[in-house]
Structure 1
Amino acid sequence: MNRTVSKTRRTAAGLAAACGLLAVTAPQAHAEVEPGGWTSESPSFNTQQKGCGTVSGLTFKLSCGDTSGEQRAERRYATYTGGTHQFEGSFRISGMGGSRISLKQTFRDTSGSQGPFFMLAVERGGRLYSVEGGATLSPNAGTVGATVRVNTVNQVGKTHRTYINGSLVNTVSSASGSYYDKFGAYRTNSGNGPVTVTWSAVKFWRK
């Protein structure tokens, strides 16, 4: 056999083995923000549909313009207690005839203090804001047709941090206790549909 060909084959085999080793030893849980020490997880969830809300896979729709009553199309994930938990997902609004729709929520689930702790909502025109206090998180990122990545990091007992497209936009204190994540489309007290939003690339980590 030609010595040059034999050497080339040995080199190719060595590179293939090295690539295989890299594939085996590469980290399996890479969080999009605040990297380091995360473990991926797949919490269970249930689907919530109320009023004119419907869920089809990862598409959430409020078909009416009602300004009263509970209009909800969401996924509610399992409760966690303690530790640090990261949610990541991207949403795209394909139609919005209403305004002030909650898209992502972090709920408290501790006895005596259940209820929404953080709610990311969108107004017609694309303004993203925190329902609690009304702070603007982005003036126009949530326009119809745009894809927006959302990360929330809840360091239970310390802080809850929210990122839009990788930028930190909100930090609030997080009390000790139990919490859970929700996302989809939900009419806030001052809002109304119709709206259609599709989520994608939903992931969870803990540490």
Structure 2
Amino acid sequence: MRILCVVCAAALLTLVSPLAAQAQVEPGGWTSYSPSFTEQERGCGQISGLNFQLTCSTGSGDQRAERRYATYSSGTRQFEGSFRITSMTGTRISLKQTFNESAAGPYFMLAVERGGRLYRVGGDTIATGATVGTTVRVNTVHVVGSQHRTYINGSLKHTMSSPGGSFYDKFGTYRTDSGSGPIQATWSGVQFWRK
């Protein structure tokens, strides 16, 4: 009986450990939490569960369908979520933001161009391959007052310095100043950690 219990415990540990290891980048010392959120639908933006879309092709106005999470102002925060673009005839649409509430503007915006290039708005290419039908996992690790790191499919792709202040996470579909829809994207596996 004791041998059987040891074998069962080892099998359970084998099943549970990989899930914990895959759930986040930069493992060690994280605590899972569930921040509150509000939904933002403006212009031709529409939300249904974790499906976000811009239905129009206009290149002007406030076109967004996003979730905006609770504000934080200290510590280290990690966001994880996967998106899959199900249709896109538009281009230059923001999918994930870390918003600097203290500066009243976006601090980090991860956007996609038609063809699958992921880039930081105002910056360089972060990754490629975000094509229609492909699932892409995004992790952002934000050390308030120090650094913001972006991982794509588990690989570190972008690092930038961070000021202090108040921030919040957003994801969905948002037309950038140089972008236009339509686009439809589905998010899944959204999780948050802090330490």
Place the TM-score, normalised by the shorter chain, in its bin: over 0.9
Written as runs of structure 1 = structure 2, the 5 A alignment for 1:1-207 is 9=1, 11-13=3-5, 15-16=7-8, 18=9, 31-110=23-102, 113-133=103-123, 135-138=124-127, 140-207=128-195
TM-score of the superposed pair, with normalisation by structure 2? 0.92
Q: What is the Cα deviation at residue 75 of structure 1?
A: 0.1
Q: What is the Cα deviation at residue 66 of structure 1?
A: 0.6
Give the Cα–Cα distance (whole angstroms) in 2 for the partners of residues 41 and 28 of structure 1: 17
Aligned match of 1:5:
none
The 1:197/1:158 distance shift into structure 2, 3 A limit, reads same
Q: Give secondary structure in 2 for the equivalent of 1:11.
A: helix
Q: Give secondary structure in 1 for the equivalent of 2:3.
A: helix
Give the Cα–Cα distance (whole angstroms) in 2 for the partners of residues 171 and 28 of structure 1: 26
Q: Tell me which amino acid in the other structure corresponds to 1:129.
A: Y
The 1:98/1:34 distance shift into structure 2, 3 A limit, reads same
Task: Output one character per residue of 1:118-148: Cα deviation in whole Å (capped at 9) or x when no partner.
Answer: 0000000000000032x1001x321111000
Aligned residues: percent identity?
64
The 1:85/1:10 distance shift into structure 2, 3 A limit, reads closer
Give the length in aligned residue pairs.
193
Larger Rg: 1
Give the Cα–Cα distance (whole angstroms) in 2 for the partners of residues 10 and 169 of structure 1: 47
The 1:22/1:96 distance shift into structure 2, 3 A limit, reads closer
Structure 1: stretches of 5+ with no match in the other structure = 1-8
